[in-house]
Amino acid sequence: MKKEDYMLRAINLAKKAKFHTNPNPRVGCVIVKNNKVIGEGYHKKYGGAHAEVNAIKNCLKKFGSKKGKQLLKDSQVYVTLEPCSIKSKTPPCTNTLLEIMPKEVYCASLDPNKKINGNGVKILRKSGIKVEVGILKKKAIEMNKDFFFKHKNDKPYVRVKIAQTIDGKIALKNGKSKWITSKEARKNVQLLRIQSDAVLIGSNTLIKDNPRLNIRDVKVFKQPISIVLGNTHSAKKNMNIFKDNKKVIFANNYEKTELNQNFTNNLSFIKLTKKNSLNDLLKKLSKYDLNSILVEGGSKIFTSFISKNLADEIIFFISPKFLGKDSIDALSLESPLSIANTNNYIIDSTEMVGEDIKLVLKKN
Amino acid sequence: MKKEDYMLRAINLAKKAKFHTNPNPRVGCVIVKNNKVIGEGYHKKYGGAHAEVNAIKNCLKKFGSKKGKQLLKDSQVYVTLEPCSIKSKTPPCTNTLLEIMPKEVYCASLDPNKKINGNGVKILRKSGIKVEVGILKKKAIEMNKDFFFKHKNDKPYVRVKIAQTIDGKIALKNGKSKWITSKEARKNVQLLRIQSDAVLIGSNTLIKDNPRLNIRDVKVFKQPISIVLGNTHSAKKNMNIFKDNKKVIFANNYEKTELNQNFTNNLSFIKLTKKNSLNDLLKKLSKYDLNSILVEGGSKIFTSFISKNLADEIIFFISPKFLGKDSIDALSLESPLSIANTNNYIIDSTEMVGEDIKLVLKKN
């Protein structure tokens, strides 16, 4: 087997974790000695052991402690991300590797986290371990693209999800929107929530729809954070958003004390500056360690994110229905002066989902 | 070879005519004797010889007149549509067949034209020819579906083509719409025009855009008719619509004499009743023998056809652009009372066309 084959095996292992590592990246590790895999493992869920540790454990279990340690010495370690050099929920992986002393370490990419970024590699090299970075780098980054985006840009990747009719409406004038899109499309939204660390809505949507914003279709070990943007004065303690024991954040121009809404310990408050409040929000969310946010509505919120150029991806579910001129527009953006000025997005993918079509728009 | 194989061969021959037979159907014919094809042909273009005649000619050419005639007697004739029993631009095909006296005639389907519908079959059977109808019927009808629709419903099949942004706009407030969709989408519109017998626009679009409404990308032997709906008082003799030597129809509430616009011999007038003017138009167009109409705009026209349930198919080209709230809506339909009442269409097909997506909606 070639280096790329071992790395691909490590990537495929990493993917087994699905979405359970968020906001950590998915990482896989394969340890090789004399062209044979002697141990492999992956980071299974947030807070759990890292990939390198699980691969070593796997080796020791397979060969017993004594033989295992002998094999691990001078081995080749393939890991999809640079071993961490900092203590987080678990000890730094560089320490763990120095204990077994492999001959070579192959990383698909450096860790984009500025606290690590290259330091893990440096520490290993200092101890005489040969380190090579870059094997299947693209694939490894793609697998954790929200994580890489967040560390590169110091803000979460923002997905805006809009379920609209083909005439661009999201609800009747009376606010009714059940159900514009098909059951399958709504199932698909669950998948979007699963890959997101937080789901954001406007306070109008909170009050009108009383949504739960949870993941229902699969068992998850942690629900995405709910973020409500705008005036939450009318929020009530018994709203669905407070179910599921998940974190809820109210973000607006008020002080926590002004709102006086300490409904649960899970409720936090972010006070925004009046100017550039969306930019301010994304910055202030950094302490919650979110790789990505899913923006779910309503119209005013969609319009704000897109007009401020803060929607990194827009996912449209379009149903072949017409709601007519008196219904609520999905968007009410300012019109450009010329059509040439409007080309910010491209259609990245399309897919039929039940009776509707899903269009994923990405920045051009 | 089985009957179905010969009929499939006839269907494939028919398709070679592409769009050149409109408003006639595409028809193919294969003549078989002792399990060998002895002649084949298809209706090549409107006004030209019918499929049966071309197949017979092909046989006579191949085998010479004497041997040919001997072979044709007691042969099996496979034809994708019932042989015509009426004189049109050419003599009735039933006569032609009775001259050669085949043993069996296989038709994929009856001719839906009420003047023929079964009469062709009757005439042949009366003369002792065995006739079987229905082999690969579905395929044969699909190949000429506009033709079948027109004869079944006594009106042309109406395709509405809408090129809009993803926020449902077709032009800036100042009317500018060049170019919302990509070059490839505009090429695709040419294909839609090719399969249509007429292209319809509103008089506002005529005056504002001065469109030519012709087929440019391929050589055609006849341009689709241009139909302009609405007040054409401001139309001028030198407009692009009068180029290409094609028929133009102005349809509105005025008498021809009131309009006094005898710009060219190709210009005809249809006076519509004020009530139900669209239904009236489709009925009055029957004398122009159109299988299908392509409705190209603008917003008012789109809205009329869809709201009156007269759009049999809606083809959306959606570009990933936003034209904002002040731009012109593609549609301004009345809003329904409930969302359940809106489900008239399904998405029949989707396709990326350049940077845009093409969605074909058909009646549910």
CB spacing of B336 vs A320 below 8 angstroms: no
State chain A's mean pLDDT as an integer: 93
When pLDDT is cut at 50, 70 and 90, the band that residue A260 belongs to is confident
Which strand (E) or helix (H) includes residue B208? helix B203-209
Phi, psi of A206 (to 5 degrees): -60, -50
Look at B168 and A168 and tell me if their CB atoms are within 8 Å.
yes
ipTM of the complex: 0.89
Chain A and chain B share a number of CB contacts under 8 A equal to: 136
pLDDT-derived band of residue B75, with 50, 70 and 90 as boundaries?
A: very high
The secondary element (H helix, E strand) that includes residue A357 is strand A356-363
Contact A323 B336 (CB under 8 A): yes
Task: Out of A248-252, A271-275, B93-97, B102-106, pick the least confident.
Answer: A271-275
Question: Does the beta-carbon distance from A168 to B172 stay under 8 Å?
Answer: no
Find chain B residues with C-beta within 8 A of A172's C-beta.
335-336, 338-339
Contact A167 B330 (CB under 8 A): yes
Counting beta carbons within 10 angstroms of the beta carbon of residue A255, is it exposed (0 to 12), middle (13 to 18) or buried (19 or more)?
A: exposed
d(CA A311, CA A315): 10
3-state helix, strand, coil in chain B (%, to 5): 35, 25, 45
pTM: 0.91
Taking residue A50's Cβ as centre, other Cβ atoms within 10 Å add up to 26
Helix H or strand E segment including A270: strand A267-271
User: Using one digit for the tens of pLDDT, what is the confidence trace for B294-328?
Assistant: 999 899 999 999 999 999 999 999 999 999 999 99
User: Smallest Cβ distance to B345: which of A320, A327, A344?
Assistant: A320
Q: What would the DSSP string read from start to end of A104-172?
A: EEEESS---STTTTTHHHHHHHHTT-EEEE-TTHHHHHHHTHHHHHHHHHTS-EEEEEEEEETTSEEE-
What is the chain B residue with the closest CA to A323? B335
Among the partner-chain residues A320, A325, A346, the one whose CB lies closest to the CB of B320 is A346
Q: Is B349 helix (H, G, I), strand (E, B) or coil?
A: strand
Determine the pLDDT at residue A306. 96
CB B217 within 8 A of CB B187: yes
Q: Please report residues of B whose CB lies closer than 8 A to that of A180.
A: 339
Cβ contacts of B332 on chain A, cutoff 8 Å: 324-325
pLDDT-derived band at A331, boundaries 50, 70, 90: very high
Q: Tell me the nearest-neighbour CA distance from A173 into chain B, angstroms.
A: 9
Q: Where in the sequence numbering do the catalytic residues of B fall? A: 52
Main-chain phi, psi angles of A110, to 5 degrees: -70, 160
User: Do B189 and B315 form a contact (C-beta atoms < 8 A)?
Assistant: no
Contact B324 A338 (CB under 8 A): no
Q: What are the tens digits of pLDDT across the range B6-55? A: 999 999 999 999 988 988 999 999 999 999 999 999 999 998 999 999 99
